[in-house]
């Protein structure tokens, strides 16, 4: 297997899996059939007394040492070749940055465009640089046989080729908190021309940004409820104008929630911690100003 030849990641993984599965199945059948034959042939009723005096067999010993060694070496060779293919990115691959946070995905393209789904051109290699804003996540796309850890502070990447247009599930494969199971997105493989057209479209204008939809995309509603019930974080219901007890630099304060406090809580959540809630909210400082404004407008309207 040549790691420099453009293949899909599935082409690198599937032959290795099939080879190991085939060898394992062959050994299982061979050992089971041999065991059954020995049970019948050498049953006590057939041979009540041992008749063989052989205590060793040189060729048998050579075979059962050499054969497993060759099998293991073959598995290593094909596994290592497949691994090199998975870590050798084609030179013409486009680059996209995936940012994971509890509990959402955000994908950023070279021209600054962002999306909550991973849009890619079908039939072309794509390199995805992986970043985490809080805890360990996992970038897992079963259709392309890729699963890479997304660790805070550690550079990592995955690459793949979507050979056909369509929508493919994208999961977080590492348990990252209470709403881990809801951290689901998709890879949308488009024809190359459609992808280029989508890529050149401007991000949503300020006036049409849906604050609630944005809160869902960024995972806000995984921690904050809209009905007043307690969650991982304070409920959004009636949050604007509410009196809250917070700690700022270790000093307890009583504040009234206003726009300035909401903006600070979104971009610098560790600056003021609401009493009785853990300081686990990641920073959303990478949001554009119009996106923060849309979130604040949405929060004002949650009654």
Question: Looking at residues 179-188, what average pLDDT do you find?
Answer: 89
* 128: β partners: 96, 158
Cα dist from 13 to 31, 76, 143, 252, whole Å: 27, 13, 11, 55
Fill in the DSSP letter of residue 268. Answer: -
129 vs 108: CA distance, rounded Å: 10
Q: Please report, rounded to a whole number, the percentage of residues in the chain having pLDDT higher than 90.
A: 31
Residue 263 resides in a domain: yes
Instruction: Count the domains in the chain.
Output: 3
Domain that holds residue 30: 9-87
Residues 219 and 258 in one domain: yes
Return the CATH number at 121.
2.60.40.420
Mind listing the pLDDT tens digit for each residue in 213-234?
788 777 787 788 888 787 778 8
Q: Mark whether 160 and 258 lie in a shared domain.
A: no
Binned at pLDDT 50, 70 and 90, residue 209 comes out as: low
Q: What is the pLDDT of residue 7?
A: 66
Q: Which residues contact 221 (CB under 8 A, 6 or more apart)?
A: 215
Q: Give the pair of three-digit tokens for residue 141.
A: 């796309």
Question: For residue 1, is it within any domain?
Answer: no
pLDDT score of 65:
92
Structure tokens belonging to residue 295:
């979130």
Does 204 have pLDDT greater than 60? no
Instruction: Give the pLDDT mean for 38-42.
Output: 84
The answer to whether residue 3 sits within a structural domain is no
Residue 259 has pLDDT above 90, yes or no: no
In a domain, 274, yes or no: yes
Identify the pLDDT of residue 120. Answer: 95
**Within this chain, do residues 14 and 34 fall inside the same structural domain, yes or no?**
yes
211 and 187 assigned to the same domain = no
> What pLDDT is recorded for position 202?
62
Same domain? For 165 and 99 the reply is yes
Q: Where are the alpha helices (DSSP H) in the chain?
A: 9-41, 58-87, 192-200, 211-217, 259-267, 289-300
Domain boundary, last residue among 162, 177, 200: 200
186 and 219 co-located in one domain: no
**Percent of the chain's residues with pLDDT above 70:** 94
Same domain, 60 and 156: no
Residue 115 belongs to some domain of the structure: yes
Taking only the tens place, the pLDDT of each residue in 261-303 is 888 888 888 888 888 787 777 777 777 788 888 888 888 888 7
Radius of gyration of the chain (CA): 28
Residue 158 domain flag: yes
Is 4 part of any domain? no
Q: Are 52 and 79 part of one and the same domain? A: yes
What residue has token string 């400082």?
285
Q: Are strands 243-248 and 251-256 parallel, antiparallel or unpaired?
A: antiparallel
If pLDDT is split at 50, 70 and 90, which confidence band does 3 have? very low
Are residue 240 and residue 146 in the same domain, yes or no?
A: no
Same domain as 246, residue 216: yes
Q: What is the mean pLDDT of residues 71-85?
A: 86
Domain final position from 87, 113, 131: 87
Choose the final residue of a domain: 177, 200, 223: 200
Q: Do 217 and 294 share a domain, yes or no?
A: yes
- Predicted confidence at residue 1, as pLDDT, reads 46
> Given pLDDT bands bounded at 50, 70 and 90, which one contains residue 98?
very high
273 bridge partner residues: 247
- Residue 203's pLDDT is what? 54
């Amino acid at each position: 297997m040549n790691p420099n030849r453009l293949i899909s990641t599935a082409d690198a993984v599937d032959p290795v899996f099939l080879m190991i599965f085939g060898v394992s199945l062959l050994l299982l059948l061979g050992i089971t059939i041999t065991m059954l034959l020995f049970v019948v042939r050498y049953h006590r009723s057939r041979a009540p007394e041992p008749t063989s005096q052989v205590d060793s067999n040189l060729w048998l010993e050579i075979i059962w040492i050499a054969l497993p060694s060759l099998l293991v070496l073959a598995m290593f060779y094909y596994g290592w070749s497949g691994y090199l293919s998975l870590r050798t990115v084609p030179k013409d691959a486009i680059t996209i940055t995936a940012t994971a946070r509890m509990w959402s995905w955000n994908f950023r393209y070279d021209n600054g465009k962002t999306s909550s789904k991973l849009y890619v051109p079908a039939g072309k290699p794509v390199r995805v640089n992986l970043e985490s804003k809080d805890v360990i996540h996992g970038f897992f796309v079963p259709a392309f046989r890729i699963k890479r850890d997304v660790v805070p502070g550690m550079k990592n990447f995955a690459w793949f080729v979507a050979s056909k247009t369509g929508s493919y599930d994208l999961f977080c494969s590492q348990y990252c908190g209470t709403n881990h199971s809801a951290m689901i997105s998709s890879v949308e493989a488009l024809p190359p021309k459609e992808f280029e057209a989508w890529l050149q479209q401007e991000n949503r204008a300020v006036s049409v940004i849906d604050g609630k939809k944005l809160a869902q995309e960024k995972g806000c509603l995984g921690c904050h409820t809209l009905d007043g019930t307690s969650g991982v974080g304070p409920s959004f219901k009636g949050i604007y104008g509410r009196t809250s007890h917070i700690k700022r630099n270790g000093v307890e304060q009583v504040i009234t929630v206003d726009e300035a406090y909401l903006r600070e809580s979104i971009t610098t959540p560790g600056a003021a911690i609401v009493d009785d809630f853990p300081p686990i909210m990641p920073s959303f400082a990478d949001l554009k100003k119009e996106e923060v404004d849309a979130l604040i407008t949405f929060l004002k309207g949650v009654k």
